[in-house]
Structure 1
Amino acid sequence: MGSLELSESKCNGGQEVSLLDAQLELYWNTFAVIKSMALKSALDLGIADAVHRHGGAATLAEIAGEVALHPSKIPCLRRLMRALTVSGVFAAAVKPGDGGGGEPVYELTPSSRLLVGSSNLSGIMSMILHPTLVVPFLGWVLHDWGDDDCIKILKNCKKSIPPRDKGGKVIIMDIVVGAGPSDQKHREVQALFDMYIMLVNGIERDEQEWKKVFVEAGFSGYKIMPILGFRSMIEVYP
C-alpha cells in the first residue's frame, strides 16, 4: 500500500470513529430522559430510604422487601438498579458468598444520601419530576396511534382539563399534512414521515383527519398553528 493510500485509509478510519462518537453523544443526550424516569421510580419506591434503613448497603432482595415489591417485579428492580448505579445515584459492591461468588450490594452515594434524612431533597426532586411538569415532553405521540386509540387518549385528556371558558385546552405538537410552508421540501418531509411512521402502524394526518378525531373525542373546536417547521402546534378546545 502506497503512502497516499495509507493516509486515506487512516483518514477514513478517523472519520468513522468520529461518526460513532457523535452517534454515541446523540444517544446519550436522547436517553437522558430515561435517567430522570429511573430517578422518579426510585423516589416513588423509596429505594434510598430502604438502603438507608439497612445501614447504607442492601441486597436486591432486601430492597424489594423494604419497598413491598412483588417478587415477580424483582427482575425489573434489578434493571432499574443497574441504570441508577451506572448513572451514579447508587453504587454497587459484591457481597462475598460461598464458592467465591456473591450478589450485588447496593450502597448510597453522595447523591442518594441527599434523598434521605430530615433535610433531604426528595420532595423537590419529586416535584420537578411530577407528571404535571414532565408529561408535556409527550406532545408528539398521537401520530403513533390509530384513530380509535387517539380518540380514547383525547377523551381522557378532556376529563382532566377545565372547560373551555376557564382556559381548558389540549396542546398537540404533530404534523398536519398540508399545513405550513408550501415548498416541496416541507411537503416531501411530511409525506415521507407518514411513510416512516407506518412502521409502528401510525399515521400523519391532514386537517380533515385531525378534525374527525377531535369531533369524535368530544371537543368543540381547534386551532392549527404551523410554527414548528414541518410540524404544527394544535390547540384543541373542550
Structure 2
Amino acid sequence: MGSIQANPASESFEAQAHLYKHIFSHINGAVLKCAVQLRIPDIIHSHGQPLTIPQLASKLEVHPTKTASIERLVRLLVHNGFLAETKVNEEEQEGRRKHILSLHLLSYLWFKEEEKTIVESAFGLGFWDLLERDHQYMKSFNEGMASDSQMMNMALRDCKSIFDKLETLVDVGGGTGTTCRIISERYPNLKCIVFDLPQVVESSSGSHNLTYVGGSMFESIPFADAVLLKWILHNWDDESSVKILNKCKEAISKKDEGGKVIIIDAVLKEKEDDNDMAQVKLLFDILMMSTLNGKERTEKEWNKLLVSAGFKHHKITPLFGFRSIIEAYP
C-alpha cells in the first residue's frame, strides 16, 4: 500500500459517490415503507427490548433464506438513524426490497417467498436473463458500465506497482473492454484479454496488445499472469463468487511469481467511512441483494471469501472512491 500515492482524482471519485447516493436515494424510502408494511416498529415496541436478527426474522415469519437479507436491510436503517443497535443485541427494524430497472415494485411480500430476487418474483426471470431478452437494455447496461470504467483512467496512473512485472492480464466480465483498453494503452507492454460472454464481445475489435475472447467464467478463463475482476463479485452470492475465484485461480499462470487476482469492488467500513461514502455502499448492497442476489462485503467477509477460495493472502487499497483494489494471491 505504501507504494501507491494519494489519488489526485479523489475529488472526482467523491463526486461519483455523491451522484450515486442521489441516484439510488429512492431505496431509502422503499426500505422504510417495507419496514412499516412488515410492522417491524410494532414488533420491536411490543417486544419491549432489543431483538436479535434471528428473533426478528422469526417474528416476521419470513422465508428461512431471507434472514440474512433482513440483517442487511436493518443495517441500512440503523445507518439512517431509524433504528439503533446495542452492543449486546441488534435492535431491528425492517425488511424491504428494491426494484429492478425503473420499476417500483414488490415490497415486504418478497420476504415471504423463496425466489432469490425481486426480479425473479416480478418477471419470472433473473436479471441476466432479462438482459439477454432485451438487447436494447443490454446495450444500455454495457454503455453504463463502460462509462463507469472511464473513471479508471484517472486512477491508473497510481497503479504502476499493481501492474508491474505482469506480462499478461485477463479482464473477466470486461464487457465492451473500456477498462482493459485503458490499461493496455497505459501499459503498452502488457498483453490484455477482455473475457466476456460471446454475444458481448463478438463485434469488438482489439489492438496490438488487446484481444477479445468469448466464454463463461464459470467454465474456464484464459491463462494470464493476473485476472482482473472489476465490479463483478458484488453481483454474486458467496457460493457463486467462490466458484468464480476458483476459476480465476486456475487461470493464473505465475502462481509462485507474483500471479494474482485483482479485484475492484466496495469494502464496507461503516466505522471508518464518512456518512456519504457509507451510505452509497449500503445502498448498493440493497440494490445487489434485490436485483442479483449479490452483496457488498465487509473486510471480514472479503477475507472469509478469499480464504474459502484457497487464496493465501491479500491486501486492500482504497483507490477508487467507494471501491477499493484487492490483490489476492494463491
Give the structure-1-normalised TM-score. 0.47
Structure number, greater radius of gyration: 1
Give the structure-2-normalised TM-score. 0.35
User: Which structure shows the higher helix fraction?
Assistant: 1
Greater relative CO (CA pairs within 8 A, separation 6+): 2
